[in-house]
Structure 1
Amino acid sequence: MFDYNSKYIDIYNDPILGKYATHLASFAKKESKIVSNDLNPWPEKESIDCLNFISILSSENKLVYKEFNKDSSFLLLKQSKPSKLAIVVAGGGYGCVCTLPEALPVAVALYKQGFSALTFDYGVKDKAIYALNDLSTLISFLEKNERELNIVISDYMVIGFSAGAHLVGSLGSSNLGYVQSGLPKPGLLVLSYPVITMLEPHCHIGTRNNLLGLSPTLEEKEKYSLELHVDNDYPNTFIWVCKDDNVVDSSNSCLMDEALKKNNVIHDFVVYPSNVHGFGIARNTVASSWMERMLGFYFDKCRK
């Protein structure tokens, strides 16, 4: 059992979860405590509960893990009957993927709501430019193995956080998205405190540097600025952000909201009164209502 004194190295050494450790915790120093008791808004204590929960699922053969390559993998919390699919994509500025604190608690919560939910690891740093290809490979695999995995691909949702939300938003883009890749249209894209634009003055420079390098051309910046590639085939979208986000300018979310309005895309946009970036599941915070509101939007607007 994991507890508040556990370290990341304990995941690597765990007889059950060790095989998933790189997927869950490659972003962290192994000797660091999982619950650091600092002011980090990530739900670190929830991470402990989630590790213990998926340990039980693993013992019941309800976890499916697959590596596509050394940079890309998924961990599926498998239902006992065919269920709607939720893909959860953590952020990390395209420099790492913070799956354990940011994505896993959301996947566990959705699993408990009856979804087949998975966390997804993708290429970062010098492989970040291939991250969308990694995501496309995942969705293609899931579509082909729908019955075996007990998932229902129709109306699937993809939830992204920060740079992970940029990746998720790219899946809907008119120049690089699901249409170009021959993938089924998502029922819902969830953009949580997202990076949207690669253009000044609202661009998050660290994310752009990891994705496009230190000296991208204007053409490259425009290619990956999501607000420039929205059309009326863009999937239904739910955006949430803190008004005074102290890492990624909330103007990113506003740019996407305006682009979706302009193209008559069904969407919801929620702004919370805080300056925090990285809330994740956000339980017991000012943003704690986001998941309930998102699920209400999904069941009301996004299912056929």
Structure 2
Amino acid sequence: MMALPAFAAEYGEPDITPQTTMGEIRSNPSILGAGVWTYSKEQNLPGTEDWCNDQTLEKYVSSYVAQDCADGLNLLIRNYNAGVQITYKLYSEQEIAEDSSRNNVEFYYYPASTPDAKYALVLSGNILNRTAELKECISTAYQLHQKGYAVFVMRYRAYPDNDNNGPVEDIARAVKYITGHAQQFGVQTESYALIGYSSGGHLAGLFASDALGYKNYGLPKPGAVILAYPIVQFAEITPIYRVGTDPFVCGRFYYEYSLADLITEDYPPVYFWYGRDDLTLNLLCWPLQGPALSKALAAHGVPYKEVVYDHAAHGISLGRGTAADGWLDEAAAFWEEQTK
């Protein structure tokens, strides 16, 4: 902060707490300048721009993760104030002109403290057009930064812009960009981790597969796949996705695949966890979710660790104060062990 130039008044203070309102966060000059998306509950809903401005950050993201999210936002502000570019668009102006939905695709960069670091690409879950970059990803970015990693928080296309396998293409774009600019970002191109929550876990898992993932784009294999309460397949709601997203179009799309069916012998090592009382996974047919993934990984000899908690609800992210509290420490240790 002491090195800021004379126009430092254009910068915001890294003083966000769980009780800071969303309106205050969104008006922080450094949050505005960094270009970070803070409207995950209001995405693509006209007239809702001020809907949650009176909510505290804790109310917006939940008490399970509020302090971690505040810490992540403050780290982002400090990085921006120090001259770090935070937001990177992943499609060119011409590509966006051809398909305006690509304008939403970007990542937010959290540099590591030391060069040549491993990196993680973090994907939130989504319910239709409602996403969780703040709740799940920025909180995770802060904790991974504390462990010495570089982190890229992904914003991929969600409904109604997720047609034609767009989200998988978005992940490929992110990994390609990071790989091509590894020296600029100070990261290793190999041994990276894909971290996905809920439906973001489904996407991360698909990208790690031979059928839909990194090999099809000529990209490095992930060093580890880390999944929190992942949706392995969408079960009975798959036809609804098809009708609402890709009607009258031939072909098979990402949401029609079970991740368990795409596991092969050379699939990357996997750490995943979920709760037995996870209502979402139970509604999507429990045997087709974590149990199916565990069976497939074991059948193909893929190194993995499955953690099943008796009480861990869907969408709790880092799960502070729950049975899942501390899972990210264990997952990072697994990642290190598999890539040492």
CA distance in 1, matches of 2:153, 2:243: 21
Specify the alignment match of 1:104 in structure 2.
138
Specify the alignment match of 1:233 in structure 2.
266
Instruction: Identify, as 1 or 2, the structure richer in strand.
Output: 1
Three-state SS of the structure 1 residue aligned to 2:191 is: strand
Specify the alignment match of 2:201 in structure 1.
165
CA distance in 2, matches of 1:275, 1:193: 9
Distance 1:212 1:42, change over 3 A: farther
Does the 8 Å CA contact 1:25/1:99 hold for their aligned counterparts?
no
Among candidates 15, 27, 42, match of residue 13 of structure 1: 27
The offset of 1:230, in angstroms, is 1.3
Does the 8 Å CA contact 1:239/1:270 hold for their aligned counterparts?
yes
Specify the alignment match of 1:31 in structure 2.
53
Specify the alignment match of 2:305 in structure 1.
268
Does the 8 Å CA contact 1:126/1:210 hold for their aligned counterparts?
no
The offset of 1:141, in angstroms, is 0.6
Larger C-alpha radius of gyration, 1 or 2? 2
Specify the alignment match of 2:48 in structure 1.
none
Residues 232-267 of structure 1 deviation map (CA, whole Å, 9 limit, x = unaligned): 121111111011101233541111111111111111
Three-state SS of the structure 2 residue aligned to 1:167 is: helix
Does the 8 Å CA contact 1:76/1:119 hold for their aligned counterparts?
yes
Among candidates 322, 325, 329, match of residue 285 of structure 1: 322
The offset of 1:46, in angstroms, is 2.9
Residues 104-152 of structure 1 deviation map (CA, whole Å, 9 limit, x = unaligned): 1111111111001121100011222301100000100110100011111
Which deviates more from structure 2 when the two are superposed, residues 259-268 or residues 213-222? 213-222
Specify the alignment match of 2:106 in structure 1.
73
Three-state SS of the structure 2 residue aligned to 1:74 is: strand
CA distance in 2, matches of 1:205, 1:35: 36
- Count of residues in Structure 1 that have an aligned counterpart in Structure 2: 300
Among candidates 42, 61, 65, match of residue 43 of structure 1: 65
Which deviates more from structure 2 when the two are superposed, residues 20-29 or residues 116-125? 20-29
Does the 8 Å CA contact 1:199/1:222 hold for their aligned counterparts?
no
CA distance in 2, matches of 1:61, 1:210: 45
Which deviates more from structure 2 when the two are superposed, residues 270-279 or residues 133-142? 270-279
Q: Structure 1: where are the runs of 5+ without partners?
A: none
CA RMSD of aligned residues (A): 2.8
**For residue 300 of structure 2, what is the amino acid of its counterpart?**
N
TM-score by length of 1: 0.88
CA distance in 1, matches of 2:197, 2:175: 18
CA distance in 2, matches of 1:23, 1:281: 20
